[in-house]
Amino acid sequence: MARILVAEHEVPVREFIRRVLQQRGHEVVVVDDGAEAVVKLARLPFDLLLADVAMPNMDGVELSLKVARDFPNLPVLMMSNESIQRRRSHDIDSLMVILQKPFTMVALNDAVERALGVNVKVAGPPAD
């Protein structure tokens, strides 16, 4: 499966993400903030960066801009509380994929699979 870097400062959210993604067979590396994520990205190759928009030291927006410049082939999936997203990101959801907090295991797995380019099965009748 994939090696995923998770940058999230809230420990319960970070551990939930780690547990869910490891259950799917992914290798998960977690860090507290964007600055730590930059250090990990310089040391290891990753298939996906999953980052919170609001973090101390270096927020997710700054981190995603750095990743776009330094690692242009690395997909980035952002996470945000709606209130923070509206206040701080200035419609960043039009620029990148945002996973809205709180999210379920299913929503997390679907978003990760989409970001990794894996076909996601959508419930409903077959397409004609």
Q: Give residue-wise pLDDT tens across range 42-68.
A: 999 999 999 998 888 988 889 999 999
**Secondary structure of residue 79 in the 3-state scheme:** strand
DSSP classification of residue 98: E
Backbone angles phi, psi at 12, to 5 degrees: -60, -40
53: left (phi over 0), alpha (psi -120 to 50) or beta: alpha
pTM, full prediction = 0.82
Taken in order of first residue, the domains within the chain and their CATH numbers are 3-116 (3.40.50.2300)
